[in-house]
Every structure is written in C-alpha cells, then in structure tokens.
Amino acid sequence: MVDLVDDDAAVAAARAGDESAFAGLAAKYRRELQVHCYRMLASFEDAEDLTQEAFLRAWRGRETFVGRSTFRAWLYRIATNACLDFLDRNPRRPRPYQSPSHSGTYPAERPSEIPWLQPYPDALLEPVAPRQGEPDAVVVARETIELAFLAAIQHLPPRQRAVLILRDVLGWPAEQVATALEMSVAAVKSALQRARPALRERLPGRRLDWAISSEPTQDERALLHRYMAAMESADAHALAGLLSEDVRLTMPPLPMWFAGRDAITAFAAEVFTPGSSAYHGDWRLVPVHANRQPATAKYNRRPDETTYRAQSLDVLRIVGGQVLEITTFGPGFFPIFALPETLTSGSADSFSPGRPSQQTTTDERGAP
C-alpha cells in the first residue's frame, strides 16, 4: 500500500540534490504515476516513457518544490503536464473504423478506432492499491482502469481529460486542479461540466451493470475458463454459446473489427478448420490478469510443429454472464505479463505467469 504521507527528511534531501533520496521517492510513487499516465494516454509504452520524463523534469526542477502541496501531488502535477505536452506534440483522436465491418447480419455501428490502446498488467497495479475505503482507493478502481473506460476517455480533449481524471478519479478539489493545470477554478469547473456528459455518451450502454470491484468475479473467471476450453478444443459452437448477440471484437492497432455473435463465430470456425486459408493449427491458452478484467494469452502450434508460439492476448468484458467485448492484442505484450514466447506440448497446464517485465516490444497482432 502506498504511504500517502511525505517523508519530510527525504524530500528535503532530494530537493538539496541527494540523488539516492530522490531515487527512493521516485520508487515510492513510480507505479501510481505510471497508472495516472496510462489513464491519460491509454498506452502502456507511452505511460512508461512519460513517467520517466516526469521524474527527469522533477529532478531538474527539484528546487522549485516549496512545500505548498505534498511532494506526491507535485509529482502528479508534473506528470499530468508531461502527458499534456506529449499530446500537444502527438495529437490523436479516436475515429470510427474506416474499413468495412465483419458484422454478418447483425446491424452494427462502427466502433471507435484507437490504435494506441494497450493492455496493463494487474501485477503492476498491486503495489499502488490501497485497501477499500482508504484514501486514493480509486487510483486502481476497476471501473476506471478497464479498457472500455480507457477507450471512452480518449474521446475527451486532453485538458478536459486531465481535469476529469484529477477531479473524478483522484478526487482532487477544484482549487488544486486549477493550480496543477494553471487554470482558473471557473475554467476547471467548466471543463468538468463538459467532460462528464461527453464521457457518459461514450461509455458502454451497459456500464451501470459493471460490478464495482478490484478484480474479476468468480463467475467471470469461470466463463473465462470455458472460453479457453472452447478455443483449445477448436469448438466454434461452444464459443458461440459464450458470446452475447451484440459481442464486438477489435484488434488494436489493426483496422479489422467484428460485430455480432454470428460474424465472430464464423471467423473462429475458419481459424479452427483444417484446410481453411485461415487455419492456425492447435491452441493452448493461459489465464492472465489485465486491466482488472478476465484475460488469456493464446499460443498457437502450426501443423507439423511441436512448439506453441505466442500469438495474441485477449481481454474480455463480460456482462450478464456473456462475453460482450473482446479486445485482442499482439504477442509483443507478452513480456510485460512475464509470459514466455513459446510453450512445449503440455507445459501450458503447469505454467503460471510470473512477475511482469517492464520491457515492451512490438505491436504485432494475432488472430482471435
């Protein structure tokens, strides 16, 4: 659990130029600042980079900390502005997918394309999670770290996004937000008044059905294992029984998307069927923990091969006992989940993901 009280001696030493004291403070707050940057940017890789940038700025400007706020709040201010500067240099806004949908007969509205969206390992959330009811429990609350929330908040202009996160997620008072963002209190209140309804419009229609918790429920974990079993047995019919009629599959950053149970089941059948141009061979799946949602890493063994190779990572959103959304990421994210690149036959049964690495690699994407 994060200690929310500053160590005055360490802060004074860091301000005076003590590198080891500053390093200790950086280690204390690094994880939660990275989560904050991740909410701002929706990209694990960018969040890593901007957290490091924030600490570099803090070190170079350490003498400007005069104690009008906590050292922690001062770091949040620096990190938030580092993210805003990044977004000024790299403007990006979601837009509807331009490619045709794979929606079969299900009438589907084009979802938003957010190519920079990336998963976040739950293991990296644990050190920053206070107990329920304690200050800043919202830092890693499930409903503000799930992919649907991250995707929705990307539609807000960056400064509105920052205001909403600082006010509604972290619970800062308007005056503190105004100081952090160099805005008037009236401007902060106005930005929040615009951001809240805009966010509600983008959140999924069944948002109120989500459980307020910090991890998947027992029922969600059971459904995840049925999903894994259907994949491993190449059973498209069993897979269909787990999906909502209006289920949606996206694969950021690929522009391909599927909408509706029939379309996704037909795609899966092609992947499962020997002789099909989309046939991938055999599958082995390993449960993982991402964004406080049920998730699984998928390994594929091609015909005439003996090794299962990293293929993709599926993060599921489950509503009413059915899979409503599947977001598929490529094998480049396996290292941050401490997942091996390959599995031998039978090793998946005994494999358990360990502590994730901070390293990330490619943006390759795989099949569902």
Domain count, the chain: 2
For residues 133 and 152, state if they share a domain. yes
pLDDT score, position 166:
96
For residues 172 and 249, state if they share a domain. no
pLDDT score, position 108:
59
Residue 142 belongs to domain spanning: 8-209
pLDDT score, position 12:
92
- CA dist 143 and 239 (Å) reads 26
Is residue 64 included in any domain, yes or no?
A: yes
3-class DSSP state of 251: coil
CA nearest to 108, candidates 119, 96, 95:
96
Is residue 97 included in any domain, yes or no?
A: yes
Is residue 3 included in any domain, yes or no?
A: no
Distances (CA, A) of 280 to 264, 272, 335: 16, 7, 22
- CA dist 229 and 239 (Å) reads 9
Backbone angles phi, psi at 72, to 5 degrees: -60, -50
For residues 137 and 174, state if they share a domain. yes
For residues 182 and 253, state if they share a domain. no
Q: At which of 192, 209, 226 does a domain end?
A: 209
| CATH assignment at residue 308 | 3.10.450.50
For residues 198 and 234, state if they share a domain. no
For residues 191 and 289, state if they share a domain. no
For residues 281 and 198, state if they share a domain. no
CA nearest to 10, candidates 65, 50, 48:
65
Q: At which of 159, 184, 209 does a domain end?
A: 209
Tokens at 227, concatenated? 């999903």
For residues 201 and 284, state if they share a domain. no
| CATH assignment at residue 31 | 1.10.1740.10
Residue 218: what residue type? Q
Is residue 223 included in any domain, yes or no?
A: yes
Q: Chunked in runs of 10, what are the mean pLDDT values of the chain (368 residues)?
A: 62 93 93 95 98 97 90 96 98 83 63 94 72 44 86 96 94 96 97 95 63 72 96 96 94 90 93 91 95 96 92 95 96 96 70 50 38
Pairing of strands 293-301, 322-329: unpaired
CB atoms within 10 A of CB 144: 18
Is residue 357 included in any domain, yes or no?
A: no
Q: At a CB cut-off of 8 Å and minimum separation 6, what does 229 contact? A: 235, 238
Is residue 367 included in any domain, yes or no?
A: no
For residues 57 and 96, state if they share a domain. yes
For the whole model, what pTM was predicted? 0.87
Q: At which of 190, 209, 228 does a domain end?
A: 209
For residues 57 and 153, state if they share a domain. yes
For residues 227 and 306, state if they share a domain. yes
For residues 32 and 52, state if they share a domain. yes
Is residue 359 included in any domain, yes or no?
A: no
- CA diameter of the chain: 69
User: Are 316 and 294 contacting, i.e. CB atoms less than 8 angstroms apart?
Assistant: yes
